[in-house]
Structure 1
Amino acid sequence: MSNFQIGDKVSVLDEAIDGVVVGVNLEQITIETADGFPMTYFVNEIVKNNISNELKGFISYAAISQVKIEKQEEKKRNFVKDKKSKKEIFTLEVDLHIEKLVPNKNGLSNYDILNIQMDTAKRQMDFAIRNRIPKLVLIHGVGEGVLKSELDFLLNRYENIRTIEGNYQKYGQGATEVYFLQKKEN
């Protein structure tokens, strides 16, 4: 005996045919297609489409009602501000890779690229001094060392700064950290 009943919506497994069961005869099921044609198939050639009624038993209405209650409850917000340790200071990071500085580097000579990078570094140094930013990180990359040597030359012209190699874990070998030694105001 098959588990199909008259009125069940079904689909044929190996063909793109849907229909409604109009006749059940032992191992054969007769369906009427959407176009109104009666067709007969074996039980193992069709599947039911309307099994949503059977799925209702799997849904826990208690769980759904619990979720609705949780959504209606007003959640208290936590406005406790995380306190930073005094060791954490604001850091201005400047990536001097040419791809980060200009939208298109095509047509630029190495001289032009180096000038753009150095102008950016100088502008950021002056900005940091003007705004009393305690730390600046210049990300220059490893490369052949031309930009790094030019940066070293630039940084030697400034007073009241201290430079160290950038944090290896964060920047690799291609960064220089600049600390500005602030003078205390009286």
Structure 2
Amino acid sequence: MMRRLLDALYTAAAGLAALSLLGIFLVMMAQVLLRELRMQLPAADDVSAYLCVATTFFALAATFKRGELIRVGMVIDRLRPFPRRVMEALVLVMAAVIMAYVTWWTGQDMLFSLEIEEVAQGTVPIPLWIPKLAMPLGAGLLLVAILDELVTVLRGAKPSYVVAAEERAASGDFSAEL
């Protein structure tokens, strides 16, 4: 039950990232069309930037779970199973601490923007807490994904990002490897 819920959360966040990316495309195409009519789309640059941040943060958890974030395994990949599991757990704990910090501070920044009613300085006064919301949500979901993998490692299983990388390698797909 919990596995399905977490996987659904990761998938939903990836869907939001895809919608944000589609939003960037639509804003850019609207700009192109309106330029031909000698018109402008107000706040297009601001909205594109906000959607770019949303795309990035909402995609983090799903990308991590699929093993597609940049990972340097020069040392850990050479370890025997038990030391590797210990090192994997330590790295995941450090990643969790860092992401907890990022989630906390981006959340505080978003709440401060809401509290002071901060708005964009562009042509359209967009309340900035709205685009800033994507950062703590995406970072928080990445934190959940990291803790999810930590539990997997502590139970003695391979983390899903390792399994995904091994499956890609077995099929001859090295596109995500450096």
Pick the TM interval, shorter chain.
Answer: under 0.3
* TM-score, normalised relative to structure 2: 0.27
Report the structure number with the largest CA radius of gyration. Answer: 1
Which has a greater percent of strand? 1
* TM-score, normalised relative to structure 1: 0.26
Which has a greater percent of helix? 2
Larger relative contact order (CA 8 Å, sep ≥ 6): 2
